[in-house]
């Protein structure tokens, strides 16, 4: 087992996921639980995650120094490096400039952590503070143009630290670095990971018992898999609702409902609710407030319709990135509210079932393939729960929605024409709320500016612009 100490990183769970992919058990704990967890679980190694704090701040999140007295290898990542430097005799200070995104790191491969790696790696940074003096016994094993101490190695005490994030797929050889720590340094053994679909079904069946459940379908892979699992658990006692919020893309509602009725046996009912959603969003411009209102409206619409069939349970396709962005761990910063996590009102009449809550997007797709869910659902582009409302800067109106729908359909049409749709994570239009001057048919035009975003990702935890693709 590898013990991961979570200091509030947005990617702490992703570290665990990467180690789990190596076939090794993980357990994630808070800093205050770390020492007792080592005594209880006897892990082969410890990973200290990143986090939003500064180690020299008055209320800095530190760790009991006893953690470094155990004869167990330790790997510090980002804040974990700074913490090790700070608590083991080194020094940390604010950087000259913030470093976010990709950069090149020159590494020394004479230590076990970087064994069999090339001397130069493209890595993913996300920090402002930096170590300016290594702790006693540690040698600098990596540097970038702006950060002298980007990696530390102490082979004698089996303590290692890196300022960049090996867990995100934008870091080259990130999995290899973690594998070196887990296997070459901690001497763990790998066991093949398999999805136990039947145990997931049994868990849902046990929770719902003889009651009825409703599922919130969006057409995306997350809610689709959640519904498919639940139907296999309770059969016709599941009723799926698709809420037409009026915030969907062009022709999307009809296409989604048609595909569900063609490919799945569960009952799908369409709730027309465009009027109430637009009414509640009137004069609202803040994106976080939009998400909250959509979450509130969504659950009230669901409650009203679920009462008619006597359903006590609400099944949702919540996945772990939703939880993280809605501040689902104790020390994590809130990124944005998801309408099915932080966007739900505190008081509602449902017991919530979230069978995919601990999954990442690519894991959900793997699970869908194992369950033989049709490709039309698996490869559908990610679309936010609040719909086009969060792709409109400013107030949401019917006129803006119509413009954005047309623009978005053109973007998707062109991507599909180029046979790039399945190679791209997301491609979409944004209503910027800014007007600009153009020329049409030799005449001056003054109209709305539409931005186009095309991005790539794997697990929804990090993303980058798509720069070059060929069909």
Annotated binding-site residue? 295: no
Q: Per-domain residue ranges for the chain?
A: 2-185, 197-378, 388-465
Annotated binding-site residue? 222: yes
Annotated binding-site residue? 95: no
Annotated binding-site residue? 219: yes
May I ask the CATH class of domain 2-185? alpha beta
Tens digit of pLDDT at every position of the chain (471 positions): 999 999 988 888 889 889 988 989 888 899 999 999 999 999 999 999 998 888 888 888 899 999 999 999 999 999 999 999 999 999 999 877 777 889 999 999 999 999 999 999 999 988 789 999 999 999 999 999 889 999 999 999 999 999 999 999 889 999 999 999 999 999 999 986 667 899 999 999 999 999 999 998 988 999 999 999 999 999 999 999 999 999 999 999 999 999 999 999 999 999 999 999 999 999 999 999 999 999 899 888 988 888 889 999 999 998 877 766 554 455 544 444 444 444 455 667 789 999 998 888 888 999 999 999 999 999 888 888 899 999 999 999 999 999 999 999 999 999 999 999 988 889 999 999 999 998 877 788 899 999 999 988 876 667 778 877 666
Annotated binding-site residue? 50: no
- Tell which residue, 286, 283, 218, has the closest CA to residue 255: 218
Second CATH level (architecture) for the domain 388-465? 2-Layer Sandwich (3.30)
**How far apart are alpha carbons 38 and 29 in whole angstroms?**
10
Would the pTM of this model clear 0.85, i.e. be above it?
Answer: no
Strands annotated E in 182-304: 213-217, 238-244, 267-272
Residues 309-330 pLDDT 10s: 999 999 999 887 776 655 445 5
Same fold, 2-185 and 388-465: no
Residues 244-254 pLDDT 10s: 999 999 999 99
Give the active site residues: 78, 165, 167
**How far apart are alpha carbons 176 and 35 in whole angstroms?**
28
* Cα 65 to Cα 31, 35, 47, 466, distances in angstroms: 11, 9, 14, 44
CATH number of the domain located at residue range(s) 197-378 in this protein? 3.40.50.620
pLDDT at 59: 82
Cβ pair 407, 392 in contact under 8 A: no
């Amino acid at each position: 087992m590898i013990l991961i100490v979570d200091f509030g990183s947005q990617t702490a769970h992703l570290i665990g996921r990467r180690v789990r992919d190596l076939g090794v058990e993980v357990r994630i704990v808070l800093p205050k639980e770390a020492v007792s967890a080592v005594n209880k679980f006897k892990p082969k190694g410890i990973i200290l995650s990143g986090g939003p704090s500064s180690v020299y701040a008055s209320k800095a999140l530190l760790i009991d120094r006893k953690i470094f007295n155990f004869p167990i290898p330790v790997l510090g990542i980002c804040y974990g490096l700074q913490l090790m430097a700070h608590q083991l005799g080194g020094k940390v200070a604010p950087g000259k400039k913030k470093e976010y995104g990709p950069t090149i790191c020159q590494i020394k491969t004479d230590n076990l952590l970087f064994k069999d790696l090339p001397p130069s790696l493209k890595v993913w940074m996300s920090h402002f503070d930096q170590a300016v003096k290594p702790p006693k016994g540690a040698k600098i094993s990596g540097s970038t143009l702006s950060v002298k101490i980007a990696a530390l190695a102490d082979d004698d005490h089996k303590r290692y630290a890196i300022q960049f994030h090996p867990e995100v797929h934008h870091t080259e050889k990130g999995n290899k670095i973690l594998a070196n720590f887990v296997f070459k340094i901690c001497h763990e053994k790998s066991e093949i990971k398999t999805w136990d679909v039947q145990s997931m079904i049994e868990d849902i069946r046990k929770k719902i018992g003889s009651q009825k459940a409703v599922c919130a379908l969006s057409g995306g892979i997350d809610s689709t898999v959640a519904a498919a699992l639940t139907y296999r658990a309770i059969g016709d006692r599941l009723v799926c609702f698709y809420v037409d919020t009026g915030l969907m893309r062009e022709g999307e509602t009809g296409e989604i409902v048609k595909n569900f009725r063609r490919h799945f046996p569960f009952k799908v009912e369409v709730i027309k609710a465009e009027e109430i959603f637009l009414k509640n969003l009137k004069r609202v411009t803040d994106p976080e407030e939009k998400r909250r209102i959509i979450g509130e409206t969504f659950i009230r619409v669901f409650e009203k319709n679920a009462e008619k069939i006597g359903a006590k349970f609400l099944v949702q396709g919540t996945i772990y990135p939703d939880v993280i962005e809605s501040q689902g761990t104790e020390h994590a910063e809130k990124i944005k509210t998801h309408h099915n996590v932080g966007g739900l009102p505190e008081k509602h009449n449902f017991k919530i079932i979230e069978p995919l809550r601990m999954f990442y997007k690519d894991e959900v797709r793997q699970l869908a393939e194992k369950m033989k869910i049709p490709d039309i659902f698996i490869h559908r582009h990610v679309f936010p729960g609040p719909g086009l409302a969060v792709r409109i800067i400013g107030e949401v109106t019917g006129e803006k929605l119509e413009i954005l729908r047309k623009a978005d359909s053109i973007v998707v049409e062109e991507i599909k024409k180029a046979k790039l749709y399945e190679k791209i994570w997301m491609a979409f239009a944004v209503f910027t709320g800014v007007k600009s001057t153009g020329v049409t048919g030799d005449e001056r035009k003054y109209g709305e500016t539409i931005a186009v975003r095309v991005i790539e990702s794997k697990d929804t935890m990090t993303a980058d612009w798509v720069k070059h693709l060929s069909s």
